[in-house]
């Protein structure tokens, strides 16, 4: 009768990305020599069931042929970015009759997957380019809020709209979610008027600032996300960061940089002749969400009541979750 296999110990997780990881553990030399298969059980931490290893002789998730460790695990469970997982392993020897001699399950180890890497964001960017549409002229960035917000800016913040941490809306793997601070602006205009829309889901008061204050040659432009919320229209998240600023340093190694003068989403064209004004354009077929990474002074623009409605709460993107089934804005990694 074959000697029992020892329980895998000292489980280690390394090289974690948004949709893959490597796993290794300690085995005796004897077990290393005779193990033919590894059984790996992986589950999200929040749904962990302490009784999920019900049968020590039945593999529950992945049966892999024994390979030199560390072993790469990718794509088998459509791993999601920024998600906590639990993993345990068994070693096994396949018997001539097809049954397995298996070890006890190892201890359960927890780990968290990472953000989208630059290559994943480039895939998302390539998809977004196909939805951008033609470029339309605009002249102001704007931000809608409720009266209490602007009252607080004036009374408590010295007239400064302070940066706030980006929420979790959009793609779960976007590197800026919960990590980058800034002030969000819009710049989309209506087709018939060339002006900002009359309605807003964010509040009845609108702060407008000339586009040149936020978009100029001293600003770096980055692509951060492309998503939808179970709707036909899509959102593109862009970041504007002053050159050399903390926001610029954060984005430079994490997000694709866009050419200010030549990209499908948001452009600045310098004056061609003396006396001319710069030209600012935005994509017509996506809704742009523009995060400026520095505080913005109210006295650089104006605050006015919008003429339309502000109860369009179905359009708000606060903490909105991305549609994981959309073929237009999803890529071949975790959502």
pTM, to two decimals? 0.85
| Contact predicate 174/128, CB 8 Å | no
Higher pLDDT residue, 294 or 66? 294
Lowest mean pLDDT among 103-107, 160-164, 287-291, 303-307: 303-307
Q: What is the CA radius of gyration of the chain?
A: 26
- 9-113 under CATH 3.40.640.10, yes or no: no
In this structure, what token pair is assigned to residue 54? 């019900």
Q: What is the dihedral of CA 147, 150, 156, 157, to 10 degrees?
A: 170
CA distance 251 to 255: 5
| Residue 245, CA atoms < 13 Å, CB-side half-sphere | 19
For the chain, the distance separating the N- and C-terminal CA atoms, rounded to the nearest angstrom, is: 48
Q: Looking at residue 147, what DSSP letter applies? A: H
Domain-wise residue ranges, the chain: 9-113, 118-305
The neighbour count for residue 237, using CB atoms within 10 Å, is 27
Higher pLDDT residue, 241 or 53? 241
The pLDDT tens digits for 130-181 are 999 999 999 999 999 999 999 999 999 999 999 999 998 999 899 999 999 9
In this structure, what token pair is assigned to residue 66? 């024994």
| Contact predicate 282/247, CB 8 Å | no
pLDDT of 54 higher than 50: no
Runs of H (alpha helix) within the chain: 29-34, 118-129, 147-156, 246-252
In this structure, what token pair is assigned to residue 191? 């087709």
């Amino acid at each position: 009768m074959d000697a029992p296999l020892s329980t895998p110990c000292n489980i280690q997780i390394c090289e974690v990305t948004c949709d893959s990881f490597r796993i290794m553990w300690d085995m005796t030399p004897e077990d290393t020599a005779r193990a033919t298969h590894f059984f790996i059980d992986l589950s999200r931490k929040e749904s962990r069931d302490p009784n999920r290893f019900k049968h020590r002789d039945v593999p529950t998730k992945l049966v892999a042929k024994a390979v030199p460790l560390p072993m790469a695990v990718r794509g088998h469970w459509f791993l999601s970015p920024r998600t906590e997982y639990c993993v345990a392993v068994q070693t096994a020897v396949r018997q001539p009759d097809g049954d397995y001699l298996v070890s006890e399950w190892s201890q359960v180890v927890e780990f968290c997957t990472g953000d989208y890497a630059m290559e994943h964001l480039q895939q998302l960017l390539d998809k977004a380019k196909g939805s951008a549409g033609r470029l339309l002229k605009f002249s102001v960035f704007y931000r809608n809020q409720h009266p209490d917000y602007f009252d607080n800016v004036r009374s408590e913040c010295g007239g400064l709209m302070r940066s706030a941490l980006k929420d979790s809306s959009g793609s779960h793997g976007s590197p800026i979610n919960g990590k980058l601070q800034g002030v969000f602006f819009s710049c989309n205009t209506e087709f018939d008027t060339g002006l900002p829309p009359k309605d807003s889901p964010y509040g009845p008061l609108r702060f407008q600032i000339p586009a040149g204050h936020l978009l100029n040659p001293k600003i770096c432009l980055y692509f951060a996300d492309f998503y939808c919320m179970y709707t036909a229209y899509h959102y593109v998240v862009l970041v504007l960061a002053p050159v050399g600023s903390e926001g610029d340093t954060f984005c430079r190694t994490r997000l694709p940089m866009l050419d200010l003068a030549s990209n499908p989403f948001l452009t600045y064209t310098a004056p061609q002749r003396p006396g001319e004004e710069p030209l600012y354009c935005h994509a017509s077929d996506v809704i742009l969400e523009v995060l400026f990474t520095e505080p913005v002074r109210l006295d650089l623009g104006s605050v006015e009541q919008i003429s339309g409605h502000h109860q369009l709460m179905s359009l708000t993107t606060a903490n909105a979750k991305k549609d994981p089934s959309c073929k237009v804005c999803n890529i071949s990694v975790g959502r």
